[in-house]
Structure 1
Protein backbone atom coordinates (compact mmCIF):
# COMPACT_ATOMS: atom_id res chain seq x y z
CA UNK A 1 0.00 0.00 0.00
CA UNK A 2 1.28 3.50 -0.83
CA UNK A 3 1.06 6.28 1.76
CA UNK A 4 1.60 9.96 0.89
CA UNK A 5 3.67 12.02 3.34
CA UNK A 6 3.30 15.75 4.07
CA UNK A 7 5.92 17.56 6.18
CA UNK A 8 5.57 20.66 8.35
CA UNK A 9 8.90 22.39 8.93
CA UNK A 10 7.90 24.82 11.70
CA UNK A 11 4.97 24.90 14.11
CA UNK A 12 2.11 26.85 12.54
CA UNK A 13 3.49 26.42 9.02
CA UNK A 14 1.92 24.66 6.09
CA UNK A 15 2.33 20.95 5.44
CA UNK A 16 3.92 20.32 2.04
CA UNK A 17 4.00 17.02 0.15
CA UNK A 18 7.47 15.52 0.50
CA UNK A 19 7.03 12.03 -0.97
CA UNK A 20 5.54 8.67 -0.19
CA UNK A 21 6.29 5.38 1.54
CA UNK A 22 5.25 1.79 0.86
CA UNK A 23 3.93 0.04 3.95
CA UNK A 24 1.42 -2.70 4.77
CA UNK A 25 -0.36 -0.75 7.54
CA UNK A 26 -0.71 2.68 9.16
CA UNK A 27 1.81 2.12 11.97
CA UNK A 28 4.55 0.94 9.62
CA UNK A 29 3.80 3.85 7.28
CA UNK A 30 4.25 6.29 10.17
CA UNK A 31 7.57 4.71 11.14
CA UNK A 32 8.85 4.66 7.54
CA UNK A 33 7.77 8.28 7.04
CA UNK A 34 9.59 9.40 10.19
CA UNK A 35 12.76 7.65 9.04
CA UNK A 36 12.66 8.65 5.38
CA UNK A 37 11.17 12.15 5.53
CA UNK A 38 11.39 13.40 9.11
CA UNK A 39 15.05 13.25 9.96
CA UNK A 40 16.85 14.89 7.04
CA UNK A 41 15.31 18.36 7.30
CA UNK A 42 13.91 20.34 10.24
CA UNK A 43 10.51 18.76 10.89
CA UNK A 44 7.75 19.70 13.31
CA UNK A 45 5.18 17.12 12.18
CA UNK A 46 4.26 14.68 9.44
CA UNK A 47 0.92 13.74 7.95
CA UNK A 48 0.77 10.19 6.59
CA UNK A 49 -2.28 9.50 4.39
CA UNK A 50 -3.31 6.49 2.27
CA UNK A 51 -2.97 7.46 -1.39
CA UNK A 52 -6.49 6.29 -2.24
CA UNK A 53 -7.93 8.60 0.43
CA UNK A 54 -6.62 11.72 -1.34
CA UNK A 55 -9.24 13.28 -3.60
CA UNK A 56 -8.87 15.83 -6.34
CA UNK A 57 -11.20 18.60 -7.42
CA UNK A 58 -10.38 19.76 -10.92
CA UNK A 59 -11.08 23.05 -12.67
CA UNK A 60 -13.63 21.25 -14.84
CA UNK A 61 -15.70 20.50 -11.71
CA UNK A 62 -15.53 23.84 -9.89
CA UNK A 63 -14.74 27.44 -10.81
CA UNK A 64 -11.77 28.41 -8.67
CA UNK A 65 -10.98 32.00 -7.70
CA UNK A 66 -8.42 34.10 -9.45
CA UNK A 67 -10.17 34.16 -12.81
CA UNK A 68 -11.42 37.74 -12.47
CA UNK A 69 -9.25 40.45 -13.99
CA UNK A 70 -8.25 42.77 -11.16
CA UNK A 71 -5.64 44.83 -12.94
CA UNK A 72 -7.16 47.97 -11.43
CA UNK A 73 -5.38 47.00 -8.20
CA UNK A 74 -1.97 47.62 -9.74
CA UNK A 75 -0.56 51.07 -10.33
CA UNK A 76 0.60 49.95 -13.79
CA UNK A 77 -3.04 49.95 -14.94
CA UNK A 78 -3.20 53.75 -14.75
CA UNK A 79 -1.63 56.35 -16.99
CA UNK A 80 0.71 58.62 -15.07
CA UNK A 81 2.31 61.88 -16.07
CA UNK A 82 5.29 63.81 -14.79
CA UNK A 83 3.01 65.93 -12.58
CA UNK A 84 1.66 62.91 -10.66
CA UNK A 85 2.51 62.27 -7.05
CA UNK A 86 5.90 60.63 -6.59
CA UNK A 87 4.27 57.79 -4.60
CA UNK A 88 2.24 56.75 -7.64
CA UNK A 89 5.31 56.71 -9.88
CA UNK A 90 7.30 54.71 -7.30
CA UNK A 91 4.46 52.23 -6.91
CA UNK A 92 4.23 51.82 -10.67
CA UNK A 93 7.96 51.07 -10.86
CA UNK A 94 7.71 48.55 -8.00
CA UNK A 95 4.79 46.75 -9.64
CA UNK A 96 6.57 46.59 -13.00
CA UNK A 97 9.65 45.12 -11.30
CA UNK A 98 7.50 42.57 -9.45
CA UNK A 99 5.83 41.49 -12.70
CA UNK A 100 9.22 41.03 -14.38
CA UNK A 101 10.42 38.89 -11.46
CA UNK A 102 7.29 36.75 -11.59
CA UNK A 103 7.92 36.20 -15.27
CA UNK A 104 11.52 35.16 -14.56
CA UNK A 105 10.41 32.64 -11.92
CA UNK A 106 8.23 30.75 -14.36
Structure 2
Protein backbone atom coordinates (compact mmCIF):
# COMPACT_ATOMS: atom_id res chain seq x y z
CA UNK A 1 0.00 0.00 0.00
CA UNK A 2 1.25 3.51 -0.82
CA UNK A 3 1.16 6.25 1.83
CA UNK A 4 1.66 9.95 1.02
CA UNK A 5 3.87 11.91 3.42
CA UNK A 6 3.54 15.62 4.26
CA UNK A 7 6.25 17.37 6.30
CA UNK A 8 6.11 20.44 8.53
CA UNK A 9 9.53 22.01 9.04
CA UNK A 10 8.73 24.39 11.92
CA UNK A 11 5.72 24.66 14.18
CA UNK A 12 3.16 26.92 12.56
CA UNK A 13 4.40 26.25 9.01
CA UNK A 14 2.26 24.56 6.40
CA UNK A 15 2.68 20.85 5.76
CA UNK A 16 4.08 20.23 2.28
CA UNK A 17 4.14 17.00 0.32
CA UNK A 18 7.61 15.46 0.54
CA UNK A 19 7.07 12.01 -0.98
CA UNK A 20 5.56 8.63 -0.22
CA UNK A 21 6.36 5.31 1.42
CA UNK A 22 5.28 1.73 0.74
CA UNK A 23 4.04 -0.07 3.86
CA UNK A 24 1.49 -2.76 4.76
CA UNK A 25 -0.15 -0.78 7.59
CA UNK A 26 -0.33 2.66 9.23
CA UNK A 27 2.25 2.00 11.98
CA UNK A 28 4.87 0.76 9.53
CA UNK A 29 4.10 3.72 7.23
CA UNK A 30 4.70 6.15 10.10
CA UNK A 31 8.01 4.47 10.96
CA UNK A 32 9.15 4.45 7.32
CA UNK A 33 8.10 8.10 6.92
CA UNK A 34 10.09 9.12 10.00
CA UNK A 35 13.16 7.32 8.68
CA UNK A 36 12.91 8.42 5.04
CA UNK A 37 11.49 11.93 5.34
CA UNK A 38 11.94 13.06 8.93
CA UNK A 39 15.69 12.69 9.38
CA UNK A 40 17.17 14.57 6.43
CA UNK A 41 15.76 18.03 7.10
CA UNK A 42 14.52 19.82 10.22
CA UNK A 43 11.07 18.36 10.90
CA UNK A 44 8.41 19.31 13.42
CA UNK A 45 5.75 16.81 12.32
CA UNK A 46 4.73 14.42 9.56
CA UNK A 47 1.32 13.55 8.19
CA UNK A 48 1.05 10.04 6.75
CA UNK A 49 -2.07 9.44 4.65
CA UNK A 50 -3.20 6.49 2.51
CA UNK A 51 -2.90 7.49 -1.14
CA UNK A 52 -6.53 6.51 -1.78
CA UNK A 53 -7.65 9.05 0.84
CA UNK A 54 -5.99 12.00 -0.90
CA UNK A 55 -8.63 13.78 -2.97
CA UNK A 56 -7.91 15.95 -5.97
CA UNK A 57 -9.90 18.81 -7.42
CA UNK A 58 -8.60 20.18 -10.69
CA UNK A 59 -9.62 22.91 -13.11
CA UNK A 60 -11.94 20.49 -14.93
CA UNK A 61 -13.96 20.03 -11.72
CA UNK A 62 -14.25 23.65 -10.60
CA UNK A 63 -13.32 27.15 -11.81
CA UNK A 64 -10.68 28.33 -9.36
CA UNK A 65 -10.70 32.03 -8.58
CA UNK A 66 -14.04 32.65 -10.25
CA UNK A 67 -14.73 33.47 -13.85
CA UNK A 68 -13.74 37.13 -13.84
CA UNK A 69 -10.43 37.87 -15.53
CA UNK A 70 -8.18 39.49 -12.94
CA UNK A 71 -4.97 39.33 -14.92
CA UNK A 72 -4.38 43.01 -14.19
CA UNK A 73 -3.45 41.98 -10.64
CA UNK A 74 -0.35 40.16 -11.85
CA UNK A 75 2.81 41.89 -13.02
CA UNK A 76 3.04 39.32 -15.82
CA UNK A 77 0.08 41.02 -17.54
CA UNK A 78 1.82 44.43 -17.65
CA UNK A 79 2.74 45.40 -21.19
CA UNK A 80 5.27 48.26 -21.36
CA UNK A 81 4.76 48.62 -25.13
CA UNK A 82 1.22 49.96 -24.72
CA UNK A 83 0.90 53.75 -25.00
CA UNK A 84 0.64 55.37 -21.59
CA UNK A 85 -2.11 57.79 -20.71
CA UNK A 86 -1.29 61.39 -21.61
CA UNK A 87 -1.63 62.48 -17.97
CA UNK A 88 1.06 60.04 -16.90
CA UNK A 89 3.48 61.24 -19.55
CA UNK A 90 2.79 64.89 -18.65
CA UNK A 91 3.20 64.13 -14.95
CA UNK A 92 6.55 62.46 -15.57
CA UNK A 93 7.72 65.52 -17.47
CA UNK A 94 6.55 67.84 -14.69
CA UNK A 95 8.29 65.73 -12.07
CA UNK A 96 11.55 65.76 -14.03
CA UNK A 97 11.33 69.55 -14.42
CA UNK A 98 10.65 70.00 -10.68
CA UNK A 99 13.66 67.84 -9.79
CA UNK A 100 15.84 69.87 -12.15
CA UNK A 101 14.69 73.11 -10.52
CA UNK A 102 15.35 71.75 -7.03
CA UNK A 103 18.82 70.76 -8.10
CA UNK A 104 19.53 74.25 -9.48
CA UNK A 105 18.34 76.01 -6.32
State the TM-score, normalizing by the size of structure 2. Answer: 0.69
Larger Rg: 2
Please tell me whether residue 12 in structure 1 is matched to residue 20 in structure 2. Answer: no
Residue segments in structure 1 that go unaligned for 5+ positions in a row: 87-106
- Name the count of aligned residue pairs: 86
C-alpha change, 1:74 and 1:31, in structure 2 (3 Å) is closer
Q: Per-residue deviation at 1:7?
A: 0.4
The C-alpha deviation readout for 1:9-54, integer Å capped at 9, x for no partner, is 1111111110100101000000000000001001011000000111
The residue that corresponds to 1:56 in the other structure is 56
The C-alpha deviation readout for 1:49-75, integer Å capped at 9, x for no partner, is 000111111211111116533355579
State the TM-score, normalizing by the size of structure 1. Answer: 0.68
RMSD: 2.6
